[in-house]
Amino acid sequence: MIRLEKRPQPSRLWTYLTPLVAVIATMIAGGALFATLGENPVTAIATIFWEPLFGEFAFYYRPQLLIKGAPLILIAIGLSLGFRAGIWNIGAEGQYIIGALTGAAVGLAFYPLEAWYIFPLMVMAGALGGWAWAMIPALLKVRFGTNEILVSLMLVYVAEQLLASMALGPLRNPDGMGFPGSRNFQQYGSAHNAELIAGTGMHWGVVAAMIAVIFAYVLLNRHILGFHIRLTGQAPKAARFAGVRPARLILFCLGTSGALAGLAGLFEVSGPAGQVSIDFNVGYGFTAIIVAFLGRLHPVGILLAGLLMALTYIGGEIAQSNLGLPAAAIQMFQGMLLFFLLAIDVLTNFRIRRTGREAV
């Protein structure tokens, strides 16, 4: 028999080894899944991880890594600040939607005016929208002690209903012949999040994601606020003795997380997505949770994890197209990554011991 024995200190080896082992375990389990669906597991895994980078059409898929990775990195950076302090924002998807709606509404309010200040105003509106949506669970937690996990998660469904009503109502394109959805920002130059360098996938969302990574790294390693965040997550009682004010920390972490998620939504709706539509959101807010944990809540780790997750998105689409794999199988494959990550992460704080029958 075996049992888990708590380690005196978390294992640094397993802290860094867990993501790698989780990826390998996901490949093995995913291969088994694809085999049961009648596909060659090696071919399927190679299609997901190899084709986007080195395949025949890699020149097209490589820029997509930045396009799909940027919102994941931006959202995950915000989530990681709260997670490190033990503040669990699970509703980034809702903040992402609200940021897209507020930013898009500002841009459409100026249509058809062409002016340089329209896009910066949209960026500010997107950040404020996400921030305001995140303040709801933050204020409720500070004032009434509610659970931020439940409140932020339920607000996702409220945001989805708002998205549907906006796409069918106030933001609907008046020249769209009755079809749901807003005007296409790709046809409105002053409000379009265009590619900065042609053929690279680089747009303002990618720039914001890189700035967020640097900002988070400096904050966590060179600023007293970052020290308070880490101390609160590791030793809450000690944090109080050190003068940390939990209410302020909750407002800061949830607000920052919401603002970054809102920015991600704005950059997406004004760039790759192009318009507000009923199915605009594709689950980036939830997938970013996997990215945050896969990156060990470290800014550089999140950067790498975001690109890896983007690779599975693109590779999954290629596998669906070339091999005929169902979308549900690809989503299950991506979900396995979080499952194995959490399962193997147990070894960071516990070690496996063999025990005799009498001990059981």
End-to-end CA distance of the chain: 8
**CA 169, CA 164: separation in Å to the nearest integer?**
8
- Give the confidence band of 359 by pLDDT, cuts at 50, 70, 90: very low
Question: Is it the case that residue 291 has pLDDT exceeding 70?
Answer: yes
| Tens digit of each residue's pLDDT (9 = 90 or more) over 43-59 | 999 889 898 888 888 88
Measured over the CA atoms of residue 200, residue 204, residue 207 and residue 213, the dihedral's sign is negative
Question: Is it the case that residue 263 has pLDDT exceeding 90?
Answer: yes
- Domain regions of the chain by residue span: 1-39+325-359, 61-324
Give pLDDT, residue 87. Answer: 93
Q: Kindly report whether the peptide bond that precedes residue 112 is cis, defined as omega within 30 degrees of 0.
A: yes
| Tens digit of each residue's pLDDT (9 = 90 or more) over 128-158 | 999 999 999 999 999 999 999 999 999 999 9
| Tens digit of each residue's pLDDT (9 = 90 or more) over 161-207 | 999 999 999 999 988 888 889 999 999 999 999 989 888 888 999 99
Give pLDDT, residue 240. Answer: 80
Question: Is it the case that residue 360 has pLDDT exceeding 80?
Answer: no
CATH architecture of the domain formed by 61-324: Orthogonal Bundle (1.10)
CB atoms within 10 A of CB 317: 17
Closest CA to 259 of 61, 110, 96: 96
| Tens digit of each residue's pLDDT (9 = 90 or more) over 93-107 | 999 999 999 999 999
Of 298 and 352, which is predicted with more confidence? 298
| Tens digit of each residue's pLDDT (9 = 90 or more) over 264-278 | 999 999 999 999 998
Closest CA to 26 of 356, 334, 349: 334
